[in-house]
Amino acid sequence: MTQRDAAWTFGGGAGVWIFRVLLIAAAAFMAYTWFQPWWSADVAIIQGTDDLVLHPWGIEVVRQVRAAADPALYTMPAFFAPFTWTYFALAMLALVASLFLNMKISLGPVKLPLAAVLIALVGLSYLTAVGLAYWIGDMRATAVDTNFIGRSSFTDPMSTRKVQMVSVLRDGYWYALYAGVALVVLSLIRFLFVRKWRA
């Protein structure tokens, strides 16, 4: 049940506006991390460094990898990229809405501000995405007997030679983790800025 009151409030005191600035900064940081590489791998026999690059919406691979590797090892289902971009758009919309929402929802005997709930859900879901990215990457690496993080070797199907590969988590991965934590923390401390947890 939603409390019957003005659904949106665009004004507010100094505390409200400070919180809004903090939330905008956290949302912008989340958007920044979304476009950063989360993981990359360098295959020794291929010129350059970022031969495989993991983004939240999939993996980019260089031409040589596409020619030599089984696509099933690095491609995601056709629905995956549209799904992740839809998630990102909805998450941004939820954060924008939470800037001005003035409603409460009942979770059993407890009434919580909808804005704080939305912020927490976005933060927790982003943390889940970060965890799933690592889990899926590690699972796929294990399937081909390589390490998701660190040095490993695999057999080149074209030459049957052992090839060295070095893979690392990029700064974008850790930034994404921090962005998720920041949003969860903001949802918990919102009441310090917004009187009675209401915007």
pLDDT for residue 100 is more than 70: yes
pLDDT grade for 131, boundaries at 50, 70 and 90: very high
Q: How many Å apart are CA 108 and CA 171, to the nearest integer?
A: 40
Which among 53-62, 76-85, 152-161 has the top mean pLDDT? Answer: 76-85
Can you say how many angstroms the Cα of residue 88 is from the centroid of all Cα atoms in its chain? 8
pLDDT of residue 43: 77
Q: Is the dihedral of CA 60, 62, 63, 65 positive or negative?
A: negative
Between the CA of residue 9 and those of 17, 44, 100, 177, what are the distances in Å?
Answer: 12, 57, 5, 31
pLDDT of residue 3: 43
pLDDT grade for 122, boundaries at 50, 70 and 90: very high
| More reliable by pLDDT, 51 or 156 | 51
- Please, which residues bridge with residue 113 across strands? 104
Instruction: Calculate what percentage of the chain has a pLDDT beyond 70.
Output: 80
| More reliable by pLDDT, 76 or 173 | 173
pLDDT of residue 166: 87
The amino acid at 157: P
Q: How many Å apart are CA 45 and CA 4, to the nearest integer?
A: 65
* Residue 46 per-residue DSSP state: S
pLDDT of residue 183: 98
Residue with tokens 């909808």: 114
pLDDT for residue 164 is more than 50: yes
Query: What are the structural domains of the chain?
Result: 14-197 (1.20.140)
pLDDT of residue 197: 43
pLDDT of residue 101: 87
| More reliable by pLDDT, 143 or 197 | 143
pLDDT of residue 60: 84
Average pLDDT on 2-20 reads 72
Q: How many Å apart are CA 198 and CA 137, to the nearest integer?
A: 41
Using only the alpha carbons of the chain, give its radius of gyration: 21
Average pLDDT on 123-139 reads 95
Residue with tokens 């919180």: 19
Q: How many Å apart are CA 105 and CA 198, to the nearest integer?
A: 12
pLDDT of residue 194: 84
- In what helix (H) or strand (E) does residue 152 lie, and over which residues does it extend? strand 150-155
